[in-house]
Amino acid sequence: MNSLFDISNKKAIVTGAAAGLGKAMAEALHDAGVEIAIIDIAAQTDEAAAQMGKTGQKVHAVRADLSKRDQLKRAFDEALNKLGGVDILINDAGAMKRHKCEEFPIEDWDLVLEVNLTAVFQLCQLAGRIMLKQGSGKIINVASMLSFSGGLTVPAYAASKGGVAQLTKALSNEWAGRGVNVNAIAPGFMATALTSALVGNPAREPDILARVPAGRWGTPEDLKGTIVYLASPASNFIHGIVLPIDGGYLGR
């Protein structure tokens, strides 16, 4: 049974992994024996990689702004060179801007779609070409509850995450028969920096938690088991899914 979940000595690229959900996902892979390259824009990228890499496999830091296509290609090539190959790709890096729909600036629309959707496609394509040649690979995209609903004041984010869900299916349709698994996770209400204004807020938190059957906020650690599963041989017949990790929210 253990061999089903064995991903030791694999090589992974994880974007947006300097903090939050991305960091937890990178930690899950690292704890399972995977060598990792973190691609992130954050100033703490080097520190996060160094801290994670103190034990076990190496963790490499690559700083890049994924809204810039030249930086994206450079970052992917740098990560690939440091790893010497790629078996797993996790696309977690993302951007969010809030405005009323009728006031949403086109510049913010362009930024969110570039980071959340176009960059995801580009990285899937770059990693996919390598995985298809070797006949194996695992791609895990990060969708959202807004892959299923529209939200409020975040039209670009909702559109981009809906796109991630459909992109995941489109890639899977072409690559599943060639040894490459493409799937997505959809985190629910998670206690992260993005929700810090809501966690513990007496005006907002009770209403939010009333909609979550599990009765609590999710944590980055709640993603770890799912990520190892989707990266491992145990999920070899899983293709094109968007898996909610939401405490039962969608079933309410």
- Across 87-105, b (16+ Cβ under 10 Å) vs e yields bbbbbbbbbbbeeeeeebe
Number of domains in the chain: 1
Answer whether residue 211 is part of any domain: yes
155: domain CATH number? 3.40.50.720
How far is the C-alpha of 157 from the C-alpha of 129, rounded, in Å? 27
Are the C-beta atoms of residues 178 and 135 closer than 8 Å to each other? Answer: yes
Answer whether residue 27 is part of any domain: yes
Rounded to 5 degrees, φ, ψ at 237 are: -105, 15
- The CA–CA distances, whole Å, from 243 to 3, 5, 62, 226 equal 23, 18, 28, 9
Answer whether residue 250 is part of any domain: no
249 a catalytic residue: no
pLDDT score recorded for residue 182: 99
Print pLDDT tens along the chain (252 aa): 679 999 999 999 999 999 999 999 999 999 999 999 999 999 999 999 999 999 889 999 999 999 999 999 999 999 999 999 999 999 999 999 999 999 999 999 999 999 999 999 999 999 999 999 999 999 999 999 999 999 989 999 999 999 999 999 999 999 999 999 999 999 999 998 878 878 899 988 998 899 999 999 999 999 999 999 999 999 999 999 999 999 999 998
Answer whether residue 251 is part of any domain: no
DSSP letter for each residue of the chain? -GGGG--TT-EEEEET-SSHHHHHHHHHHHHTT-EEEEEE-STTHHHHHHHHTTSSS-EEEEE--TTSHHHHHHHHHHHHHHHTS-SEEEE---------GGG--HHHHHHHHIIIIIHHHHHHHHHHHHHHHHT-EEEEEE--GGGTS--SS-HHHHHHHHHHHHHHHHHHHHHGGGTEEEEEEEE-SB-SGGGTTTTT-TTTHHHHHHT-TT-S-B-GGGGHHHHHHHHSGGGTT--S-EEEESTTGGG-
How far is the C-alpha of 236 from the C-alpha of 190, rounded, in Å? 28
Answer whether residue 135 is part of any domain: yes
Answer whether residue 198 is part of any domain: yes
Q: Choose the catalytic residue: 157, 175, 189, 229.
A: 157
Q: Report CA dihedral (188, 189, 192, 198) to the nearest 10 degrees.
A: 160
Answer whether residue 216 is part of any domain: yes
Report pTM.
Answer: 0.96
For residue 91, the enclosing domain spans: 2-244
Answer whether residue 197 is part of any domain: yes
